[in-house]
Structure 1
Amino acid sequence: MTPSNSLHRALHTAGDPPLRPLPAPVAELLGSLAAPPRLAAHLRAVHDVAVRLVDWLEQHCPGLDVDRDAVLFGAATHDIGKTVHVAELSGPGSAHEEAGRELLLAHGFGPALARFAGTHASWTAPDATVEDLLVSTADKVWKNKRVPELEDLLLVRLTQASGRERWEEYLALDELLGDIGDGADHRLAFQAAFPVSG
């Protein structure tokens, strides 16, 4: 299926400031699903923030073992279930979470990647990985929403890996998330520029 003009623009328009493109397999999947253009724009915004988070982590805390590709895939697909539950693009709901996981599995993505669609809202689960925490953080801070409970869980991982004091890690993470949050208006405007339906 050929993507609509709006979906094509959501996937490929640079934005101001420019947003990174989604990984090719994700963009192709969204096209084949005739995904809502606003969803594609949202996934690009969250993916772009996830790149910034992982880039920062690699510099700031190289001792923290993070699967970069998994985080970026998770950020790029976390809401893909909204292709099935379109009403959740503009209203509350969690039906998209399991639907997204099932959709990704049905399209040949392994459980280790498909899981992010189902875990991005459940960062307090006992088996949550640092990758889960990063995808969840990207999904909040892209619009400058700060969730102290989530950030505290990430801080635990940072202090364990770095050996630095919690307050040091807090200040560093707070500065990063503040800088990312400063660009929220541009990301929100980019997303709002695209329609909910094709």
Structure 2
Amino acid sequence: MASEALRRVLSDTGDPDPRPLPDRVVELLCKVGAPPRLAAHLRLVHDVAWRIVRWVEREFPDLEFDAESVLFGAAVHDIGKAVHREELSGPGHAHELGGYELLCDHGVEAELARFACTHGTWSEPGLPLEDLVVCLADKIWKGARIPLLEDLVVDRLVLSAGGRERWAVFAALDDLLDDIAADADLRLAFQARHPVSVR
């Protein structure tokens, strides 16, 4: 059952006014009684993922790329913190498998639930571009630049799209990430407005 604080964060239009989460995710967050801070974080990462997805679609129109799975993955990547609440304010990885299991238990297909596990494992070989984009969104929302992750995304785009010089793809992605990172303080303030827990 959704608390008033959770309902408030799901509809908050304050600066930076992140896009609403998909209805399926909102329903799930309400069902599991997600903490408001978690919902705020998921909205912010989903919003940043939307910006990256739109850039990929614009820059690489012929690329086979599952934008909808990226947006869903970004919207649920940390949902395991609804179960492992200690990881809302501290380190830990229990939420990754916990999130995958929670999603599967609520009828989410394993193909989509995987983002709960893969969002923290970007350095593992063979991750699809979609998973790397969710990882990237989960870092850049707060202004964190991870050169190795960004290089993986660039390499995957160059390999998948073909015909583009690596330096040009790197420069274009770098410009996008600089633009996103510039609003990190607004996003951090938005997340901080919402409580970690509700008594």
Q: TM-score range by the shorter chain?
A: over 0.9
Counterpart CA distance in 2 for 1:159 and 1:63 is: 12
Q: One-letter code of the match for 1:157?
A: R
Equivalent runs, 1:151-190 vs 2, <5 Å? 151-160=150-159, 161-190=161-190
Counterpart CA distance in 2 for 1:192 and 1:121 is: 22
Structure 1 residue 193 and structure 2 residue 184: aligned? Answer: no
TM-score with structure 2 setting the length? 0.97
Counterpart CA distance in 2 for 1:135 and 1:69 is: 12
SS of alignment partner, residue 180 of structure 1: helix
Structure 2 match to 1:57? 56
TM-score with structure 1 setting the length? 0.97
Equivalenced residue count is 197
Q: One-letter code of the match for 1:8?
A: R
Residues 70, 131 of structure 2: 8 Å contact kept = yes
Structure 1 residue 78 and structure 2 residue 73: aligned? Answer: no
The CA deviation at 1:121 is 0.7
Structure 2 match to 1:122? 121
Structure 1 match to 2:43? 44
Structure 2 match to 1:26? 25
SS of alignment partner, residue 114 of structure 2: helix
Structure 1 match to 2:139? 140
Structure 1's consecutive aligned runs of 4 or more residues displaced over 4 angstroms after TM superposition are none
Q: Percent identity?
A: 59
The CA deviation at 1:61 is 1.2
Residues 79, 97 of structure 1: 8 Å contact kept = yes
The CA deviation at 1:14 is 1.2
The CA deviation at 1:162 is 4.0
Structure 2 match to 1:96? 95
Structure 1: segments with no counterpart, 5+ residues: none
Counterpart CA distance in 2 for 1:176 and 1:53 is: 8
Counterpart CA distance in 1 for 2:188 and 2:156 is: 29
